[in-house]
Amino acid sequence: MTQATALETDTTLTPARLNHLQALEAESISILREAVAEFARPVMLYSIGKDSSVMLRLAQKAFYPGKIPFPLLHVDTSYKFPEMIAFRDAYTKEIGAELIVHRNEEAIAAGANPYTLGTQNCCGLLKTRSLLDALAEGGFDAAFGGARRDEEKSRAKERVYSFRDQAGQWDPKNQRPELWNLYNSRLRKGESIRVFPLSNWTELDIWLYLYAEKIPIVPLYFAKERPLITRGGQMTLVHNGMKLLPGEEVRTEKVRMRSLGCLPCTGAMRSEADTLPKIIEELLTFRRSERENRAIDHDEEGSMEVKKREGYF
Amino acid sequence: MDTVATTNFEEFLDVHLAQELLRFTTAGSVDDGKSTLIGRLLHDTKSVYEDQLAAVKKSRVNRAANGHVDLSLLTDGLKAEREQGITIDVAYRYFSTSRRKFIIADTPGHEQYTRNMATGASTADVAVVLIDAKAFLREGKLLPQSRRHTYIASLLGIPHVVAAVNKMDLVGYAQESFRAIRKEFVEFASKLGLKSVTVIPVSALEGDNVVTPSRAMSWYDGPTLLEFLETVPLAVANHNDPLRFPVQLVQRPDANFRGFSGQVARGVLRAGDRVLALPSRRESTVKRIVTWDGDLHVAAYPQSVTVELEDEIDLSRGEMLVSAADAEHGLPEITRRLRAMVVWMHEEALVVGRTYIVKHTTRTVRATVKSIRYRVDVGSLDHVQADRLAMNEIAEVELETSLPLFFDAYSESRSTGSLILIDGLTNATIGAGMIVGTVESGAGENEQATLVLVPGRAALAERVRDALEARGHRAVVIDDALISDDAFVAVVRALELAGVAAISSRALFPERLAEVTRSIQGFAAGAIVSGDGVDDEEVVRLAGVRT
């Protein structure tokens, strides 16, 4: 945990009461270890975002002094921010993790994009299909994901061990009851389980932990002057090879990303927060939820639930 | 969500980092207004974002009357629920105040979904049971569902129960009505043995006594619901509790390190402590308590750590470290026959004689239902006879497991006293069990021996086998020289798992013999029969052949 508390625990003979982050950390580590003990071939979905960064640190802690005993899987839509890819490659190398990158090359070659397909179909091809293919190719029976229950309404009902049928689909009405910390890992051939070690963390917990643990994150989270345009009502960062539509003008503003997805579908927000404490301070005064700038959640009422039923994380 | 009160943000962060976590669950009947109450808690603690509130305001559904915003929509997550207007699965919500962080398990009130109430209750520090004041006055008593939910809260060992008497606005905020409800609830709760019971009059719709004190009920001088949740004492890990460390994972990153990872389930673990491994009963000393953040001198429930021992002893996942000082008293129960209160959660009934899979701590075994001692009628709390258990029914059940479990009674320890039942065919989680204790062995019950040792008496070994087989038991003589002494325990263990008795006439050294006996005691169901100084007839009888 934080240096101060680790020291405290170390020098006293009676253990201190755990604060909420220590309690969440202990629970997450236990979930990671339980899954590694019980599944034949786990993998960790690594999205490069802040939640993935926390999950990765928890995995390092869970298996210390050993290395992380499973590969990381990044589903690359080809629309990710270049800063994300650079960070991914450097950081996984630094910590010595095994990285698998999977792309739906067929759909990418066919020109799949959110503008002509709509975000629903584009996600379906480049994320959901690609993810299911990668899991099948790797023969993975369990996949760790960084989803949190506080993110979105349909996620509030998600189990820590989320059962998926042979087609990778989620049936919200037929979930296994989950009691205490006794997780049911039993599967038949072809079935799998998504394991969510961060289920009980909130967005604020994630930022506090990143701060307390000094965990590196993609620089896009910090405010900086960046070139951008307004498209579809959101501020979209300009990148190499982007075609401007008539009437679009590039301008520069001090912005940051609150959550990271694909470039065309993740909006930037105006911000002065260029350090973690400033981000946390800003978060505490926020009156809007973090997924609000994610176009994919707003296609229709309950759209995340529809995606999850199909196999999206 | 808090506002930033201090100018020194680092100080503010320290306060945030030091906050404790409280988990609570909400339960009540279909129309008691649970979702509205939670919506109210989130709304009045400013935990709702503008865009979420805007989405609720423009939603096609609105069940709140008089132009109120329907706050229940903040928590009704799934499409089907929004359409049907009922909560059909447990949903988790999060909010914080300047005092604490909260996790809410919002559990449905519909009778068919009692299993979800048990799910939410299993990890809760506090249960909030909603009582509809208007419905109470109409019926003149607590609704059956309210009784059921309070009973489940007591069964799942939730330390504090608070009854939120809701819809006080619909009964004119009348003190007499509240008093009548409080009296009946307190009586019922004390009958259940609940120790910490609080009753608060609220209106979730109007916001009275949820976060802000009610002006309409100035006669009430107790805490609001939020004040109660912010100040109720949290259970502290008791340092006098005996140590229970179920091994989750053995880590061997290289030849020099062998660590046992797990979460301390009970008590305290200290570097330098003498510990005892179960079931092998081998002793060792804690060399290090290893974490990424550095070695610890001490670890307690519920910390996740890795333990390195001084000696190479036989210990794997599903086994347990306890304190060697507890070897005389203070050990967990070690048995294959146990009694548990079971909440059944599946459409297909529990049937006596059927075998299921049980997961208890990190140990997974097969378990056969030997009998149903009684079923609890949740309305009357009477014990009734039963030979099957339908969905949402609760009973005390006798289980016989394929390997011994190391447990404490659930009333002593939720983490070492709880188990889940899994269907071996469908893999569904079908039941939840709270262990009561060991089944007292009845007179005349004589189980078949696991191991019969008759050194140097090969003919007797064969006779015991034949006698067992004649009685329909399965038995094998393992005198074959191909089975080395080193493999002896493993072979006996494999035979035991297959339900076969092992018999041997081989001559083992006394130390070796002691080691074999000790190794087998931990997992064996039946007796270990030593033929030393015992005549043939007696050996046959001890082996489980009755004449």
Multiple choice CATH, B333-438, 3.40.50.280, 3.30.930.10, 3.30.70.260, 2.40.30.10: 2.40.30.10
Nearest to A179, CA basis, from B18, B540, B117, B178: B117
Reduce the DSSP state of residue A104 to 3 states and report it. Answer: coil
Average pLDDT (B190-199) is 94
- Res. B5 pLDDT band, cuts 50 70 90: very low
DSSP B346: S
pLDDT tens sequence across A234-259: 899 998 777 888 888 999 999 999 88
CATH superfamily, with its number, for domain B9-231: P-loop containing nucleotide triphosphate hydrolases (3.40.50.300)
CB distance from B82 to chain A under 8 Å?
Answer: yes
Residues of A in contact with B89 (CB under 8 A): 157, 172-173, 175
Separation CA A41–CA A70 (nearest Å): 8
Select the highest-mean-pLDDT range: A43-57, A107-121, A153-167, B10-24: A43-57
**Closest alpha carbon within chain A to B294:** A6
| Chain A residues 150-169 with a CB less than 8 Å from chain B | 150, 153-157
Structure tokens at B308: 């390195």
Per residue in A14-25, pLDDT (tens digit) is: 556 788 999 999
Residue of A nearest to B10 (CA): A277
Above 50 in pLDDT, residue A292?
Answer: yes
**Coil/strand/helix, residue B61:** coil
Domain A20-206+303-310 CATH assignment equals 3.40.50.620: yes
Taking only residues 8 to 27 of chain A, the set having a beta carbon closer than 8 angstroms to any beta carbon of chain B reads: 9-15, 17-27
Q: Does residue B263 sit at the A interface (CB-CB below 8 Å)?
A: yes
DSSP secondary structure string, B525-544? Answer: SS-EEE-TT--HHHHHHHTT
Instruction: Convert the pLDDT of each residue in B263-312 to its tens digit.
Output: 999 999 999 999 999 988 899 999 999 999 999 999 999 999 999 999 99
pLDDT for A11 equals 39
| pLDDT of amino acid B107 | 80
Tell me the C-alpha distance between A204 and A286, whole Å: 11
Task: Give the mutation candidate from B92, B286, B289, B347 for the A interface (greatest A CB count, under 10 A).
Answer: B92
Contact A176 B249 (CB under 8 A): no
Question: What pLDDT, in 10s, does the model give residues B320-374?
Answer: 999 999 988 899 999 999 999 999 999 999 999 999 999 999 999 999 999 999 9
- Domain range summary for chain B, segments of one domain joined by +: 9-231, 245-326, 333-438, 451-542
Q: Which residues of B touch A285 (CB under 8 A)?
A: 3-4
Whether residues A284 and B101 touch (CB distance < 8 A) is answered with no
pLDDT given at position B500 = 86
- CA-based nearest residue in chain A for residue B114: A177
The distance of A131 to chain B (nearest Cα, Å) reads 24
Do the domains B333-438 and B9-231 match in fold?
A: no
Q: Do A29 and B304 touch (CB under 8 A)?
A: yes
Query: How do strand B451-453 and strand B501-504 relate by DSSP bridges?
Result: parallel
Helical (H) or strand (E) element with A224: strand A224-231
**Separation CA A204–CA B170 (nearest Å):** 38
Spatial CB neighbours of B345, under 8 Å, sequence gap ≥ 6: A177, B115, B118, B391, B392, B429, B430, B431, B432
Q: Mean per-residue pLDDT for A178-200?
A: 95
| CB B535, CB B543: distance < 8 Å | no
Which residues belong to CATH 3.40.50.620 in chain A? 20-206+303-310
The CATH architecture of the domain made up of B451-542 is 3-Layer(aba) Sandwich (3.40)
β-bridge partners, B27: B129
| Two tokens, residue A249 | 């003008």
Contact A17/B49, CB-based, under 8 Å? Answer: no
Residue B288 has phi, psi (to 5 degrees) of: -145, 150
Q: For all residues of chain A together, what is the average pLDDT?
A: 86
3-state helix, strand, coil in chain A (%, to 5): 45, 15, 40
Average the pLDDT over A148-165 and give the result.
86
pLDDT, tens digit (0-9, with 9 covering 90-100), for B433-467: 999 999 986 543 446 678 888 888 889 999 989 98
Q: Within B85-159, where are the H helices?
A: 114-121, 133-139, 144-155
| CA nearest to A9 within chain B | B296
Whether B418 sits inside 8 A of A179 (CB atoms) is: yes
Q: Which residues of chain A are within 8 Å of residue B357 when distances are taken between CB atoms?
A: 186
CB atoms within 10 A of CB B347: 9
Q: Does the domain spanning B245-326 belong to CATH 2.40.30.10?
A: yes
Å between A102 CA and nearest CA of chain B: 28
Question: pLDDT exceeding 70 applies to what percent of chain B?
Answer: 87
**Contact state of B420 with A61 under an 8 Å Cβ cutoff:** no
**Is B114 at the interface with chain A, CB within 8 A?**
no
Burial track B166-178 (b if 16+ CB lie within 10 A, e otherwise): bbbbbbebeeebb
User: CB–CB of B17 and A212 under 8 A?
Assistant: yes
Partner residue facing B78 (CB), from A154, A205, A284: A154
Residue B504 has pLDDT above 50, yes or no: yes
Whether the CB of B294 is below 8 Å from some CB of chain A: the reply is yes
φ/ψ of residue B326, rounded to 5: -90, 5
List CB contacts (< 8 A) between B75 and chain A: 153, 156
Nearest CA distance, B335 vs chain A (angstrom): 20
Environment class of A189 (CB within 10 Å of its CB; exposed 0-12, middle 13-18, buried 19+):
exposed
Residue pair B96/B19 in contact (Cβ under 8 Å)? The answer is yes
Residue of B17, B60, B304 lying closest to A26 (CB–CB)? B304
- Residue whose C-alpha is closest to residue B136's, from B148, B127, B145: B145
CA distance A78 to chain B (A): 30
Q: What ipTM does the predicted assembly reach?
A: 0.87
